Amino acid sequence: MTKVLTKPETRREMNAEVHCYMCSHNVQAVVLVDRRSATVKPGQKCSRCHSAIDSGYVLRLQREAVSA
């Protein structure tokens, strides 16, 4: 039996604009970002209609500027 070594999963929290399906508005939320995807952090509520935005669509990430 061979063991496969994998890197630990690194996910960063970032602010993003997320589309709320219930009120059809774009709201600010915290998302978890890994190498390929961004998902809404579980347990957040929409700031307008107070419904869960766990399944919300991430529209735009607000990345911080990197200084060289």
Domain limits of the chain?
A: 12-61
Single-letter residue type at 31: V
Instruction: Compute the distance between CA of residue 23 and CA of residue 51 in angstroms, rounded to an integer.
Output: 9
Asked if 21 contacts 56 with a C-beta cutoff of 8 angstroms, the reply is yes
Predicted confidence (pLDDT) per residue in 1-55, tens digit:
677 777 666 888 989 999 999 999 999 999 998 888 889 999 999 999 999 998 8
Q: Is-above-0.85 flag for pTM?
A: no
Sheet with 57-61, edge to edge strand ranges: 38-40, 26-33, 12-19, 57-61
Q: How confident is the model at residue 67 (pLDDT cuts 50, 70, 90)?
A: low
* Residue 43 confidence (pLDDT): 93
